[in-house]
Amino acid sequence: MSDEVLLRATDVVKSFPIRGGKLGTKKVATAVNGVSLDIFKGETLGIVGESGCGKSTLARCLVQLMPVTSGTVSFKGEVLTGRSRRQLRDTRRDMQLVFQDPYASLNPRRTVGDIVADPMRINKMGTDAVINARVADLFKTVGLDPSYVQRYPHEFSGGQRQRVGIARALSLNPSLVVADEPVSALDVSVQAQVLNLMSDLQDEFGLTYLFIAHDLGVVRHVSDRVGVMYLGQLVELADADALYDEPLHPYTNALLSAVPQLNDGTEVPRERIVLSGDVPDPADRPSGCPFNPRCPSATDQCRTEVPVLLEIRPKRFVACHHPLTF
């Protein structure tokens, strides 16, 4: 990990118009609400949050799969937001995605060899022979037998399919790989294989990862830094160890305490904080801090004033009027 910023997001907002409400009134659901962050070259930035917190939408906005409503995203110093598809083409090659569902994200009618080769063919990366040799290389890299290239996705298990998805993402030598819940559809034993593979690849190719997941253990395991999202906002961002050992935002604290622990003597037991209620509707956001209706330490200030993400200690960002102290 270096100090070189690979991707910078400034005040990114993404909202969707939704149907409903009274005659003629248009409502807006704000999925991402003013997120600013930097991704440094060579690091793994983990984004964690519960379903509906906007983490996947944020990822799609960052790699320009979705236009942002406002805010800017720049990659390697160049502003991406507002550019046309054509202008984005070269940058797209440099940012690749790995998706959650290895069953749905691979075209069932194409062989896995073609799936991995297609991005290279589209980008005219060489003759068929060159591309085929590279496919075989990539298969070895991700731990698949190169003789499998002629097989179809349904002939593989979930873990193997995710390896195919990773090989495809690597085929264009990207500098940034965005992985959206890459292991949540896999069994634990297979999940560990894929996580280990991803970390080996990072070392080998100097990749930068944006790793989106809801599993706090997985995120801690892979990430150098972790951002916590709640209702479209980044509520805390810090080095992984610092964040997990000393959460400053009450939501981070509740989230960590909710994870069932194995109690096998290796972990310090955490006191369980059970939050009441559900995450609010993104179309009907509470005023002030998004977390205030469920926060055990909310005050009047929290109900009126939106807290901003501040660096309250070196490399520790938190958006809270009353951060926890340790």
Angle at 147 between CA 144 and CA 153, to 5 degrees: 65
Residue showing tokens 């980044």 = 234
Distance between CA atoms of 77 and 55, rounded to whole angstroms? 23
Q: For residues 17 and 77, which CB has a smaller minimum distance to other proteins in the complex?
A: 17
Q: For residues 36 and 199, which CB has a smaller minimum distance to other proteins in the complex?
A: 199
Q: For residues 129 and 274, which CB has a smaller minimum distance to other proteins in the complex?
A: 274
| Residue 188 Cβ vs other proteins, minimum distance, rounded to whole Å | 5
| Residue 248 Cβ vs other proteins, minimum distance, rounded to whole Å | 16
Of 290, 259, 255, nearest to 275 by C-alpha is 255
Q: For residues 20 and 77, which CB has a smaller minimum distance to other proteins in the complex?
A: 20
Kindly give, in sequence order, each residue whose CB lies less than 8 Å from that of residue 103, ignoring residues fewer than 6 positions away. 153, 158, 161, 185
Distance between CA atoms of 264 and 15, rounded to whole angstroms? 44
Residue showing tokens 């479209």 = 232
Q: What are the residue ranges of helices labelled H in 128-179?
A: 128-141, 158-170
| Residue 217 Cβ vs other proteins, minimum distance, rounded to whole Å | 4
| Residue 108 Cβ vs other proteins, minimum distance, rounded to whole Å | 19
Q: For residues 218 and 320, which CB has a smaller minimum distance to other proteins in the complex?
A: 218
Which residues contribute to the site for other proteins (CB under 8 A)?
Answer: 19-20, 23, 50-51, 157, 159-160, 187-193, 195-196, 199, 214-218, 220-222, 240-241, 244, 254-268, 272, 274-275, 277-278
| Residue 85 Cβ vs other proteins, minimum distance, rounded to whole Å | 33
